[in-house]
Structure 1
Amino acid sequence: MPGRLLVLSNGHGEDLIALRVLQALHGRRPELEIAVMPLVGEGGAFAAAEAAGVLRRVGPRRHLPSGGFSNQSLRGLLADLWAGVLTLSWRQWRLVRRWGRRGDPVLAVGDLLPLLLAWGSGAPYGFIGTPKSDYTWASGPGSAGLAALYHRCKGSEWDPWEWALMAVRRCRLVAMRDRLTARGLRRHGVQALAPGNPMMDGLRAEVLPEELSSCRRLLLLGGSRMPEALGNLRRLLEALALLQEQDPLLVLAPCGSRPAPEEWAPLLGGLGFEPAAAPPSLRAAAAWRRGPVLLAVGPGRFAAWAGCAEIGLAAAGTATEQLVGLGVPALSLPGPGPQFKLGFAQRQSRLLGGSVEVCRTAEALAMRLALLLHDPPQRDALGRIGRRRMGAAGGSEALARLLEQRLLEPAAGQAG
């Protein structure tokens, strides 16, 4: 029998991680039927793979106002409730239960919600824990306050009810993003592994065009959740306007499906940018100029552009982690959320060892940016920290191999 696998993923970053692992798994087991159920949003990251026949999306899908961050604010929780999140979750639960009755395995990617659903399926399951790391409380910069004390008492950022779900006999694989976190879980009886970080796979920087090598180069990341992303971009660009820099400045702005290129025009026009011609070698969708600053917008160009930057200006989650993992330090500017608020940004900075620095104001960001642009040794030092925290590429293939050995082959043996 070819076999089947249901994958549960609860967020945009989790979707990207799941996609990389599933592409590697498809290369090893092309006959495997892979069904993916995005628990948050539409799962747009899977669209191309679905069109190519690698997988299929199943189950109910709905865009939630909080973008999956209802746990960070009462307003976000109330908005999600009004949008029907309880009905959505109930329908997703029923589908997982139906799947589990056949005994086909389930893979959960994310945190408690997909893990709980996978356990509730009654089938064998695996878990890739993406958002939590013990680095966020075990190291600086800054202090995690009461949260650090709570996690230190437990010895893990994961909670006891999550350990219990990971230690169930039906849970055949638990994979964490780093060795420190996996070691903390093993102290609580969870056989956790850290085979590699899929977030660093598939990032192959293109060679910077020669005509742009004399420019100072920044990467602009506002996130993918609308309308928050536009607000993040506005604040970052307003901070950039305070920079006293006479050299030509190239701002590379890769994006996903949102904000779409046409959604940039009102934002940039309101900030004094004018349409400009982009160098053909950049393969940008549009370009805008304001004084010495040339800003290029490129849908789907993150992997190609990230490694070309000297510094990132960031208000994003997964993309920021990938950027510093390539050795590019970043400056962040928290906003009103729902995702990229001060607490989120500080936690991200601790996770990444300070390779992304939190700036409280636009003036502080502009001042720090000016210093970093003229301090290559400091940029290099921060870049080395980012690389160490994120790890090397190759995690997707390692996880695919483990899934095949621990989840798929035992399930096939039981079916036989």
Structure 2
Amino acid sequence: RIVPVAPMTTRLLLLSNGHGEDLIAMRIIEALQLQARELGISELEISVLALVGEGKSFGKLKNVQCLGPLQRLPSGGFSNQSFWALLKDLWAGLGPLSLAQIRSIRRWCKQGDGAVLAVGDLLPLILAWGSGRSYGFIGTPKSDYTWSSGPGRNPLADAYHRLKGSEWDPWEWTLMARPNCRLVVCRDPLTARGLRRHGVAALAPGNPMLDGFEIQPVPLALSKLQRVLLLPGSRCPEALENLKRLLISLAQPVAPTSRVLLLACGASPAAAELEPLFAALGYHSTVIPLGSKAQGAWQGPAGLLLLGTRLFPTWAPWAQVGVACAGTATEQLVGIGCAVLSLAGPGPQFTLGFAKRQSRLLGGAVRVCRKGPELQRALELLLQSPALQLELGRIGRQRMGPPGGSAAIATLIKEQLLTNCDVQISNRNANDPALKTPECI
């Protein structure tokens, strides 16, 4: 059990290794800062180190120190997808970058006491353990749903994971069960139960990815159209190639005014990168006052196209169907109950293998299409079948879990990680019913 013996430490370092992980870390930081203000704690010092990419998500946060170095690698953090992606990252400086990041963590540790929170998979978990500080872990990419049920079963892989009893591997749960690992959070209760069988006091208090959505009425003019949300991804140049393939696949014979494509982008790709692509595919700029906050509108072979930079939280609840080549954003869209179709590409991120694993993780709420004609047929079927939309949305909500995870995890961080505690985890107390209660938050 957890017995507080000293005041709360005021320093926290978050390690994040991906775009989706950055989003989760950002949500948790916002919840931590809000709770600290409500408790009158003004001296909380939060630092972040984005292990992958440039950490642009953290730029909008106040009173957060961003550590470096930061560098965008060719694979976009998906060097584990293929040997060639790993070689490209190594050639671009992955080795020196990793060593410099380790030195940055050590410098932070020398500046005073504090705890480390790893968000992602094995890499940040190893770095948190190697810091020598008390640490916590939020395991984002793995779920036991991937092998326990869903489309595209792989008997050999299923047998391997069933033998382990967890999607996580022995070297990973060993680090999670270390005495100075004071908090382990999983994405769903099923995965937490699998880890508890290996002596890890894992919890599943909710999904931060589903926080922050803006539920607003659909503008009247949009409500009369078929609404399809496009998610090409955020890593260029792959995102541009994905978008090109999606728009070509969605060119349709129906009346061009009957459908609106809501293109939701982050900081990348930028409008300046998109406009030449639109022109090459036969889209021309237009002005249509639809009250959608769009940064631009184009008319073309696939219908009306609206560009919304950083409008995903607003537009996602408006969509009837999503068409995606993305990772985290696809999971978020499914989690709020929207059926999604995906179109696999050459990668390095959104390959056919990635798309299949994502579909299985989400119980088939994302349907994988291999070619453009297949995507077009599947989209027409979904748009004409509200009952099927609702059923796939129900599955997606079940797999992703409820919102509210950011605040629940922030509370656990204060109680179990930032409070100096004497925590000893064993196989016996890891099965204590008291450790399972937060799953129901």
CA distance in 2 between partners of 1:305 and 1:372 (Å): 19
Equivalent residue, structure 1, for 2:93: 84
Shift of residue 278 of structure 1?
A: 3.5
Shift of residue 247 of structure 1?
A: 6.0
Shift of residue 242 of structure 1?
A: 4.3
Equivalent residue, structure 1, for 2:425: none
Q: 1:176-191, aligned counterparts within 5 Å? A: 176-191=186-201
Q: 1:61-210, aligned counterparts within 5 Å? A: 61-101=70-110, 102-210=112-220
Contact 2:227 2:259 in 1 (8 A): yes
CA distance in 1 between partners of 2:75 and 2:90 (Å): 10
Contact 2:294 2:308 in 1 (8 A): yes
Contact 1:144 1:347 in 2 (8 A): no
CA distance in 1 between partners of 2:179 and 2:68 (Å): 27
* Counterpart AA for 2:78: F
Summarize the Cα distance change of 1:411–1:60 in structure 2 as closer, same or farther, 3 Å threshold: farther
| 1:41 aligned onto 2:53 | yes
Contact 1:206 1:304 in 2 (8 A): yes
Equivalent residue, structure 2, for 1:22: 29
- 4+ runs deviating over 6 angstroms: none
* Counterpart AA for 2:353: G
CA distance in 1 between partners of 2:20 and 2:365 (Å): 19
Q: 1:226-241, aligned counterparts within 5 Å? A: 226-241=236-251
CA distance in 1 between partners of 2:338 and 2:10 (Å): 41
Contact 1:136 1:144 in 2 (8 A): no
Q: Structure 1: where are the runs of 5+ without partners?
A: none
Identity percentage of aligned residues: 57
Q: Structure 2: where are the runs of 5+ without partners?
A: 1-7, 423-441
* Counterpart AA for 2:80: N
| 1:7 aligned onto 2:19 | no
Deviations 1:297-344 (A, max 9, x none): 011100000010100000000000010111110000000000000111
Secondary structure in 2 aligned to 1:316? coil
Contact 2:256 2:303 in 1 (8 A): no
* Counterpart AA for 1:144: N
Equivalent residue, structure 2, for 1:347: 357
Secondary structure in 1 aligned to 2:118? strand
Secondary structure in 2 aligned to 1:338? coil
CA distance in 2 between partners of 1:145 and 1:111 (Å): 24
* Counterpart AA for 1:331: L
TM-score of the pair, normalised by structure 1:
0.95
| 1:356 aligned onto 2:366 | yes
More displaced, 171-180 or 71-80? 71-80
Equivalent residue, structure 1, for 2:230: 220
Deviations 1:272-316 (A, max 9, x none): 111111425111111110157110001110000001010000000
Secondary structure in 2 aligned to 1:410? strand
* Counterpart AA for 2:355: A
Contact 1:110 1:131 in 2 (8 A): yes
Summarize the Cα distance change of 1:123–1:7 in structure 2 as closer, same or farther, 3 Å threshold: same
Q: 1:396-415, aligned counterparts within 5 Å? A: 396-410=406-420
* Counterpart AA for 1:36: V
CA distance in 2 between partners of 1:25 and 1:19 (Å): 10
CA distance in 2 between partners of 1:164 and 1:222 (Å): 37
Deviations 1:367-390 (A, max 9, x none): 111111111111111111111111
* Counterpart AA for 2:106: R
CA distance in 2 between partners of 1:279 and 1:383 (Å): 30
| 1:309 aligned onto 2:319 | yes
Contact 1:247 1:292 in 2 (8 A): no
More displaced, 375-384 or 115-124? 375-384
Contact 1:97 1:120 in 2 (8 A): no
Shift of residue 103 of structure 1?
A: 3.8
Deviations 1:72-96 (A, max 9, x none): 1122111111111111111111222
Contact 1:103 1:124 in 2 (8 A): no
CA distance in 2 between partners of 1:281 and 1:39 (Å): 38
CA distance in 2 between partners of 1:332 and 1:145 (Å): 24
* Counterpart AA for 1:42: E
Contact 1:205 1:306 in 2 (8 A): no
Secondary structure in 2 aligned to 1:281? coil
Shift of residue 244 of structure 1?
A: 4.6
Summarize the Cα distance change of 1:363–1:343 in structure 2 as closer, same or farther, 3 Å threshold: same
Give the total of aligned pairs. Answer: 410
Shift of residue 245 of structure 1?
A: 6.0
Shift of residue 66 of structure 1?
A: 0.6
Summarize the Cα distance change of 1:292–1:174 in structure 2 as closer, same or farther, 3 Å threshold: closer
What is the RMSD of the two structures over their aligned residues, measured on CA atoms?
Answer: 1.7
Contact 2:256 2:300 in 1 (8 A): no
| Larger RCO (CA under 8 A, 6+ residues apart) | 2
Secondary structure in 2 aligned to 1:122? coil
Secondary structure in 2 aligned to 1:204? coil
